[in-house]
Structure 1
């Protein structure tokens, strides 16, 4: 029979903050360990235009693919919106800024551009078991041609 450690919302939040800090630090957690060690061996991560990665090896490949496109990223921790479900699920909404190979971005500049995101996590036994990332991956705002209303807006 499997047993699970009971975690508080604050404990789940601390695991998720380690994840964001590691992501902002090129995949290295504050304690020097790999971001992948924050994930359960069979965890799943979803990223738009990439799909679902299952297990640390695939998650590592996904993060390598994403990292090859990012020069830098910073999440604005002070303004995260945390939603706790009373179970293992935690929703985090926030903003980011950084530099992509297609150029710099900042949430709100332009108003419709990249930088706003919402992630849904499941955290059990001090490990992330699921992380589904919802955002616009067009960091360089290059996809204007497919959305006619964008050519009518100003930054």
Structure 2
């Protein structure tokens, strides 16, 4: 990990996090036409539920290829994000999304227990994402209901 060389404001960290989220909506391409991986430090970490921890850009690229290969389209709802700033390198973004997964569509709140609500915890230094842990339900299309009695009752899953 590199030593910190630039002091960043919360708004600057937020801009990096927004660029990352918008790159997902743009198929992994940033607003400058670069790869989403260019937003990460070489030794960055990313956690995604049911995938695990990716260490370094190569593994992060595999994680994004694996997960991204299941998503046909995604759109984050930027106007309703909640931002939490630590006063340090950590920025938390909470929001909603909608899109099309290979197993079907999703939209936050439809149904209320389904996918689309998420929270990302970022660590950003020197204009690069050092760490992002993604917290969401990876069952985008809401097919995994039989294992949860309360959902099985609602959906008729067996």
SS of residue in 2 equivalent to 1:133: strand
The Cα shift of 1:140 comes to 1.1
1:46-82 deviation per Cα after TM superposition (whole angstroms, max 9, x unaligned) = 0000000011111001000011100000000111000
Structure 1 runs (4+) deviating above 6 angstroms are none
1:120 matched to 2:121? The reply is: yes
Instruction: Please report the TM-score for the alignment, with normalisation by the length of structure 2.
Output: 0.95
Instruction: Please report the TM-score for the alignment, with normalisation by the length of structure 1.
Output: 0.96
Consecutive unaligned residues in structure 1, runs of 5 or more: none
Corresponding residue number in structure 1 for 2:151: 150
The change in CA–CA distance for 1:98 and 1:2 in structure 2 (over 3 A counts) is closer
Instruction: Write the distance in 2 (CA, Å) between the matches of 1:134 and 1:3.
Output: 27
Instruction: Write the distance in 2 (CA, Å) between the matches of 1:20 and 1:30.
Output: 11
The change in CA–CA distance for 1:87 and 1:145 in structure 2 (over 3 A counts) is same
Consecutive unaligned residues in structure 2, runs of 5 or more: none
Corresponding residue number in structure 1 for 2:140: 139
Corresponding residue number in structure 2 for 1:34: 35
Corresponding residue number in structure 1 for 2:8: 7
The Cα shift of 1:99 comes to 0.3
How many residues end up aligned between the 2 structures?
154
Corresponding residue number in structure 2 for 1:100: 101
Instruction: Write the distance in 1 (CA, Å) between the matches of 2:151 and 2:114.
Output: 10
